[in-house]
Copies of this chain bind each other. A is one copy, B any other.
Amino acid sequence: MSVLLDKKKSIIQSALDLIQEHGFHGCPVSMVAKNAGVAAGTIYTYFENKDDLIIGIYEHVVEEIKKYVSERDDLSLPFKERFYNYWKNLTNFYELNPSIHGFYDQFLNSPYNSDDLQSNPNVWHEFANAFFEDGIQQGDIKQLNPVVLSILVNTNVNSIVRIKQNFKKKLEKNNMELNEISHLIWDGIKAD
């Protein structure tokens, strides 16, 4: 049982790495297999087809993000602090797992991210929605749609991580400015 799961995990990890390095296109099933140390056919034991593999990666990714951020959410803190933690933890997670960030960024605007998939609930979106719902209930942030709020915040974190990576070797200074963005967003969404 654990062997099976290990194999599925290693296929997903292999695909994640390849997608980050070569983009969605440069990721043939045969290469994923080779990288994962399995035969090409084996992938089809765990996934119906390549699309299903991509969706499988998405589901894995979404679960990992949720796990990391939710485990570090301390409900006893004031919401402002929880927000900054949310922001910091999500950023950290992406920086610790660049292949996940690379995949997620590409996935969101790809045709793989179908309407059907977006409509279905997923653990990460549910957590994020509930998180901002909480902030609204507690009167700490503006009464906006929590779905909109979570997309807004997550998109900004995504962008900033991307900018950081692009600027990595250029300007140390920018990193400080980028960290200011969280304040900027908080100022925007906090209740008046």
Contacts and interface: CB of A to CB of B under 8 A. Distances in A.
Interface of A: 22-26, 105-106, 108-111, 115, 118, 142, 144-145, 148, 151-152, 155-156, 159-160, 162-163, 166, 171, 173-174, 177-178, 180-181, 183-185, 187-189
Contacts of A189: 184
Given A178-B148, A188-B185, A109 B111 contact: no
A111 B155 contact: no
Contact of A155 (B106, B118, B156, B187): B156
The 10 closest A-B pairs by CB, nearest first: A23-B111, A184-B188, A188-B188, A155-B159, A105-B109, A106-B109, A187-B188, A144-B177, A145-B177, A148-B177
A159 B173 CA distance: 27
